[in-house]
Structure formats: C-alpha cells, structure tokens
Chain A
Amino acid sequence: MSIFSNLGIRGSILGLAAIVAGIGVTRSCEGGGIVTSKHRVDLTFWNGFTGPDGRRMLEIIRDFNHDHPDIQVSMQRMDWATYYNKLMVSAMDNRGPQLFVVHASTLPRMYRSGFIENSARLYSGTEAIPSADYDPYVLEQVKFKDQFAGVPLDIHPQGMYTNAEMLRATGITQPPSDKASFMRALRALTKKSGSGDATQWAFALTLWRNNFQSLIPQFRGRYLKPNGDADLNNPGNIAALQFLGDLSREKLIPPPENGLGWVGYRQKKVAMVWDGVYMLGDLLRLQGLDYVAAPIPQIGPQPGTMADSHVLCIRKGLSEAQRTGAETFIRYLSKNSIRWAAAGQVPARRSVRETAEFAGMPVQSAFARQIPFMMYPPRTPVLFEVTLEIDQAVEKVIRGNADAKTALDLANVNAQRAIDRDRAEQKIAPSGGQKP
C-alpha cells in the first residue's frame, strides 16, 4: 500500500512505461543483432549441436572471434525438436538469430516460411565459396529455383559400425561389403545360450526408419515421383523394407521389443549396426571398444545409403553490416570444415575431403566413400507427415504386423493425402509450379 501511495498513479504509470521500454530495447537487441560499437557486429548463431559436436563448434567459434575482433559470434544450442520450433516462431517475427543451421531435408519447409536469406552472394565474387567444390547432388538440396537457401557445411551419411574384436573372433577380417558376406556374418556372429536366448547379436537395427531409408537407394527406390506425388510403395522400397522384415521374421536381429541397437553395440552385445557418422562423437568417449567403420553393405542391386546435411543459413532482414559479418563467418566455417569433421562429420566441400588430414579420419573417410550413392530424405514441405508414414510402415513390418507392400501402400495413400492437402492450401500444381 505504502509503495503505491509513495509512487502515486503517475509514478506507477511511468514505472510501467520504463519496464515496457526496457522490454522494447531488449526486443530490438534480439531482433536486429547488437551493433555494440561503430565497427563491431555481434551475431547469434543457433543450432542443435548439443553433443560433443557442439563443443567442437564452440572451439571453432572462439577462434573465429579471436581472428575477427570486429565480428563476434555467440552460439546457442538446443535439442533439434525444440530448436526448430523456436527458430520458426522467432525468425518469422524477425527476432531469430542472424545465423542458424537447418538440415537440408528440412529446408523446403523452412525456406517456404520466407525468413531465410538468399545466399547466392556467397557463391560469387572474389571471396566466393566455389560451387564447383560441392557434389552437384548436395548443392541441389539447397537450391530453390535460382536461389540458394544456404551453404552446406557437412554431409552425414549412414554407414556401418562394426566391432572388430567380435568379427575377428569368428574369423571375419573385413566388415561385410555385400549381401552374401553380410548374411554370413549375421549367422556367424549371433550366439545363443543353451536355453536358446541370444547372448550376442550380429546386427541390430538402430533408428528403424533410417536403417530402411539407407536401403532405399540400393534397391533403386524413391520417395516421390518427379511431379512430387508420393511414391512410397514403389517396388524398390518394398524390396528394401521386405529385407528388413525378413531379418526380423527369421530372428536374425533382436526382437523389436528388445530395444538393443546402438546401446547394445556400445556394450559389445551387438557386433554391427548402421547409424550416422555423427555417432562417432559418442564412440570417441568410450574406452575399450575396437570399432571399424565401413559403408553399408550392398544388399540391393547397387550401393547406396541415406544422408543429410547441416546447412548454414542467414536470416532475412539483416543490416548490410550484419549480413556481411554472417557471410564472413560462413566462409570461415566452410573453409575450416576439416575441424568440424573431427567431431564426426564429413565435410561437404570436396577440396576438404581430399586433404591428407581427412584421409587420416578413418570413420569419416569410410562413410564418405558412399557419397556418390547417397540419397537425402524426401524433398517436400510436408516432410514430417511423410516421415511419420514411413515410420509407421517400417514399424508394422519389423513387428510382423503387416507385409512390406501392404504397409507401404497405406503409407503412400496417407502421404499423398498430406501432399494433396498442402498443394490445395498453397494452390500449388502437381508439377511443383504455381497455378496461374
């Protein structure tokens, strides 16, 4: 009571105004990046690098800040799901970070939101990042008509991790590279106790969907037709999923409810798993696991795997100083991506992959051998819906609740429904072009 009496109504209003003004100042700082002195630009950089890769990125940023006193980058990291929600909501209100990372597979949705700056400037001029230094397929992922949504920092393909000690114990000297050697290894490495319970598994699925998607290119499968319609139930996809379903049905992998996978591999209960190159960060912290990495064995008629990329993006609406600073940072990261590779990534730039330093990274370089055969997730704004359908189909087949064709037929119907709905809402023709 006394506080209000002393301040009076006018004082209270002024106080509130000061608070509101304070909020406004904070907001403007968040929104536009802070220009703290005439020459220094402070930039925020958001990403989902919450593991050991985040610590590596922090080291790179520290060195960048040291080398560029006029541009100071601060990083904020959070788990990917939270990250994308926050990024979307804040960036659309021009309050997001100036720099951020988006997965290549998520770009179609994010780019459509309209807050990602065209990065074409980075690929031209005297300090250009040479576009010829990227595999055309990778660069294609960030292109939208004649615009670039960002700069690919890395490629993270799925590959095979093997426990060399377990392989050697059964006389296998090389990781399996084709279906015949893979099936031989499956039978040789799975060990059962007298009661019939497995005490050691040759192979376990990790993220089921990713394991399936790694086989899709091997069987010449695809997600979408050239006109953008769903094509989840094509013969290649069915054959790929059938292979995994057969492994489950023949009890060559742990039962679905078992939950082994990466954890089992870490604990030397599983000899081989397929997972992303980024899992290397986890292995580097382990003691006593003799691991060897290799491409995913060729199960289908051709080699192949699933991959994705972290793409460096700039938010729209920055001042020229901020944009230039952000571009300088992206060039620096791209140029120094060998340091990023050490955290468990494959650099997107060919010139970096051709260095002796990269050749000395056994896991990364083994996974990189798959780059000519890799396939990214479906390039569609309704990625979440399509992915959910793939998840459901894979789960049904692995659990033995449906055959591959039935599961993928249903997934295709549902995915097409999501695509049709999106097209109708956005008035987009099946070819992908805008309706007149």
Chain B
Amino acid sequence: MQRTGFLFLAPYAVSFAIFVILPIVVSFVLSFMRFDLTAQSSAGFVGLDNYKEALHDNYFWSAVKATLLFAAMIVPGLLVIGLSMALGINAMARGRAAVRALVFLPGMLNIAVTGILWQWFFNGEFGLFNFALKHFGSQGQPWLSDKAFAMPSIVLMSVWWTVGGTAIILLTALQQIPGMYFEAAALDGASTMRMFRHITLPLLKPVMSFVVVTTSIAGFQMFGQAFMLTRGGPELSTRGVAQYIYETAFNSYRMGYGAAMSWLLFALISVFGIFQIRMMRRPA
C-alpha cells in the first residue's frame, strides 16, 4: 500500500525535483560562478564576487527601491480593498455567489492580456482614463510616462488584477466567524464599528497575516506588470529586481550574476516575510 502511495506521488515528485529543486540547486551554484552564455570558456568559480558586485551595483539598488515601493503600495492596497470587498459581499443577502465569481474573474486573465488591456486604459491619447478625465473637463495624465504616475499606475492595475483572490480568501475567513459573537455583542449594545474592531479584525488576524505575507512575496517578485506596461521606465523607475535579474540573465547572458541577485532577492523576501509573521503574531 505504501509503495502504491509513492507511485501516485512519483509524477509530481519527479517534476518537482526537476523543475523546482534542481533549478534552486543550480542557481545557488551558479551564483558563485562567472557564467556568461556567450563565452562559456571563461566560466569558473568566483566565490562571492557576484554578491559583492550586486551590493555595489547602482542599478541593483534602484531595482530594490522600485520593488520596495511596489510592495509598500500593493500590500496595504490589496488588504484594504480586498477586506472592504469581502465585507460588502458578506453583507449581501442575495447574489453573493454571482458577485464572488465576478470579483474573481480578472485574476483568471494572464498578465499579457491584462497588460495589453491596461495599456489601452492608460494610453495618453486614446485611453479610457484620459477620455474620462477630459470628458469632465480635466486634463489627461501621463499615466505611464511620468515617474510620479508610473508606479501608482502599475499598482492600480495589479490591484484590479489580483484583489479578487484576496477578497475571496478574506470572505471565506469572514464566513467562518460564528454569528453568535455578533449576536452577543449586539445584545450588549455594541456598534457596528466596535464589532468590526473587536470581533471581526482579531478573528481575521491569522488570515490577514497569511494575505500580507503572500501578497508581499508576490509584490517582491513583481515583473510582468511593469514589463508589460512600462518596460521598467520611465528612467528605470519601475524596473524591479525580478526584471533586472531577467535582463541580466537573458539579455546580457550573465547567468552567474543573475543567479546571485536572485538569491539576494530571496534573502530580502525572507527577511520581510519573517518580520511580518512576527509582527502579526504579536498579541494586540
């Protein structure tokens, strides 16, 4: 019986080993190597040189800055909007299932489709947003071509794209809260706001913690959104670490340096992840 169990596990285990474990090991080894695809004869171990180079690389730090900015905007954005949507859907007496499905729909699109769609929304000349602004007598805005607007625009698209998933997770958690707590609080004369603060929020905390950590990880890995909308511009202000790693590895073909930056990104995500989990576990 045990052997049969292993056999059922085997296909996934094999693919996991080949496509997840092996690349992790290879990238770790590569990060200590000079490995330029265009000049493999020069490949060799260079110790910590790639890591040292990254720490002195202005482009790496500007990419870190863009990544942090994106994460700092998207995480609270998703949490607040996702929670608001979940509360709204939870309060609905009818049509909840239909709205839940609709909310989740944008997340079904892949990033290429989403990016092209929003490129048109943001287009300065013919875009939906500037059309609406001009219709109401306001000036159009340079959504993607001005440093001040570009990152918030990317965040806006990302929220639209992913908030459905966050809302559904929070809605499920909301529905797990026993109704008797609210009934008891109502009998004691608690206001809706007090019930939200003292019942809903504390009981949602574990799930919110999960949402914060997972959206942070996704935020730190931001790539497709900026790549589709701005290609990292204007003036590299929206080029995140993941895009810089991609360009280093697949445009400059410097696999070793790209791998080292990947591990630095992993370290950054780990530090933030651990910090967030600890913060969320602290008693109120």
Known: A4-B4, A396-B235, A399-B234. A259 touches B42 (CB 8 A): no
Determine the chain B residues whose CB is within 8 A of the CB of A109 once the complex forms.
Answer: 38, 253
Verify if A426 is at the interface (C-beta below 8 Å from B).
Answer: yes
Task: Say yes or no: A259 contacts B145, CB within 8 Å.
Answer: yes
Determine the chain A residues whose CB is within 8 A of the CB of B37 once the complex forms.
Answer: 88-89, 92, 113
Query: What are the 4 A-B residue pairs with the smallest beta carbon separation, nearest first?
Result: A257-B142, A257-B145, A259-B124, A113-B38
Determine the chain B residues whose CB is within 8 A of the CB of A110 once the complex forms.
Answer: 38
| Alpha-carbon distance A1/B42, docked complex (angstroms) | 51
| Alpha-carbon distance A309/B197, docked complex (angstroms) | 66
Instruction: Sort chain B's interface into a size bin.
Output: 20 to 34
Task: Say yes or no: B125 contacts A264, CB within 8 Å.
Answer: yes
A1-21 contacts to B, CB under 8 A, are 1, 4
Task: Say yes or no: B236 contacts A392, CB within 8 Å.
Answer: yes
B225-256 contacts to A, CB under 8 A, are 233-236, 247, 250-253
Determine the chain B residues whose CB is within 8 A of the CB of A258 once the complex forms.
Answer: 124-125, 142, 145
Task: Say yes or no: B247 contacts A395, CB within 8 Å.
Answer: no
CB closest chain-B residue, reference A260: B125
Determine the chain A residues whose CB is within 8 A of the CB of B252 once the complex forms.
Answer: 382, 384-385
Closest approach, in angstroms, between the C-beta of B179 and any C-beta of chain A? 44
13 A-B interface contacts by CB (under 8 A): A1-B4, A88-B253, A109-B253, A112-B38, A255-B142, A256-B145, A257-B145, A257-B146, A259-B123, A259-B124, A381-B38, A381-B39, A384-B247
Contact indicator per residue, chain A 249-287, by CB within 8 Å of chain B (1) or not (0): 000000111111001100000000000000000000000
Closest approach, in angstroms, between the C-beta of A19 and any C-beta of chain B? 12
Task: Say yes or no: A395 contacts B233, CB within 8 Å.
Answer: yes
CB closest chain-A residue, reference B233: A395
Contact indicator per residue, chain B 139-159, by CB within 8 Å of chain A (1) or not (0): 000100110000000000000
Determine the chain B residues whose CB is within 8 A of the CB of A396 once the complex forms.
Answer: 235
Determine the chain A residues whose CB is within 8 A of the CB of B36 once the complex forms.
Answer: 425-426
| Alpha-carbon distance A259/B140, docked complex (angstroms) | 12
Verify if A401 is at the interface (C-beta below 8 Å from B).
Answer: yes
Verify if A27 is at the interface (C-beta below 8 Å from B).
Answer: no
Verify if A350 is at the interface (C-beta below 8 Å from B).
Answer: no
Closest approach, in angstroms, between the C-beta of B264 and any C-beta of chain A? 18
Verify if B13 is at the interface (C-beta below 8 Å from A).
Answer: no
CB closest chain-A residue, reference B34: A425
| Alpha-carbon distance A88/B252, docked complex (angstroms) | 11
Closest approach, in angstroms, between the C-beta of B19 and any C-beta of chain A? 15
Verify if B7 is at the interface (C-beta below 8 Å from A).
Answer: yes
Task: Say yes or no: B124 contacts A257, CB within 8 Å.
Answer: yes
Determine the chain B residues whose CB is within 8 A of the CB of A426 once the complex forms.
Answer: 36, 39, 42
Verify if A85 is at the interface (C-beta below 8 Å from B).
Answer: yes
Determine the chain B residues whose CB is within 8 A of the CB of A179 once the complex forms.
Answer: none
Q: Which residue, of B145, B236, B251, has the highest number of chain A Cβ atoms within 10 A?
A: B251
Task: Say yes or no: B42 contacts A427, CB within 8 Å.
Answer: yes
| Alpha-carbon distance A427/B146, docked complex (angstroms) | 42
- Which one of A92, A381, A399, A425 lies within 8 Å of B235 (CB-CB)? A399
- Which one of B4, B38, B125, B235 lies within 8 Å of A395 (CB-CB)? B235
Contact indicator per residue, chain B 1-24, by CB within 8 Å of chain A (1) or not (0): 000100100000000000000000
Closest approach, in angstroms, between the C-beta of A125 and any C-beta of chain B? 31
Determine the chain A residues whose CB is within 8 A of the CB of B142 once the complex forms.
Answer: 255, 257-259
| Alpha-carbon distance A256/B145, docked complex (angstroms) | 7
| Alpha-carbon distance A92/B35, docked complex (angstroms) | 14
Determine the chain A residues whose CB is within 8 A of the CB of B145 once the complex forms.
Answer: 256-259
Determine the chain A residues whose CB is within 8 A of the CB of B247 once the complex forms.
Answer: 384
| Alpha-carbon distance A427/B247, docked complex (angstroms) | 24
Determine the chain B residues whose CB is within 8 A of the CB of A401 once the complex forms.
Answer: 235
Closest approach, in angstroms, between the C-beta of A371 and any C-beta of chain B? 29
Determine the chain A residues whose CB is within 8 A of the CB of B251 once the complex forms.
Answer: 81, 384
Determine the chain B residues whose CB is within 8 A of the CB of A425 once the complex forms.
Answer: 34, 36, 39, 42
Further 5 A-B residue pairs, CB within 8 A, beyond A113-B40, A401-B235: A81-B251, A88-B38, A264-B125, A399-B234, A427-B42
Closest approach, in angstroms, between the C-beta of A257 and any C-beta of chain B? 3
| Alpha-carbon distance A255/B146, docked complex (angstroms) | 11
Closest approach, in angstroms, between the C-beta of B61 and any C-beta of chain A? 14
Q: Which residue, of A89, A110, A113, A396, has the highest number of chain B Cβ atoms within 10 A?
A: A113
CB closest chain-B residue, reference A421: B53
Determine the chain B residues whose CB is within 8 A of the CB of A88 once the complex forms.
Answer: 37-38, 253
CB closest chain-B residue, reference A82: B250
Task: Say yes or no: A392 contacts B7, CB within 8 Å.
Answer: no
Determine the chain B residues whose CB is within 8 A of the CB of A1 once the complex forms.
Answer: 4
| Alpha-carbon distance A318/B279, docked complex (angstroms) | 61
CB closest chain-A residue, reference B122: A259
Contact indicator per residue, chain A 103-129, by CB within 8 Å of chain B (1) or not (0): 000000110111000000000000000
Determine the chain A residues whose CB is within 8 A of the CB of B40 once the complex forms.
Answer: 92, 113-114
Closest approach, in angstroms, between the C-beta of B247 and any C-beta of chain A? 7
Closest approach, in angstroms, between the C-beta of A208 and any C-beta of chain B? 10
Determine the chain B residues whose CB is within 8 A of the CB of A264 once the complex forms.
Answer: 125
Closest approach, in angstroms, between the C-beta of A116 and any C-beta of chain B? 11
Closest approach, in angstroms, between the C-beta of B147 and any C-beta of chain A? 9
Task: Say yes or no: B4 contacts A85, CB within 8 Å.
Answer: no
Determine the chain A residues whose CB is within 8 A of the CB of B123 once the complex forms.
Answer: 259
Determine the chain B residues whose CB is within 8 A of the CB of A259 once the complex forms.
Answer: 123-125, 142, 145
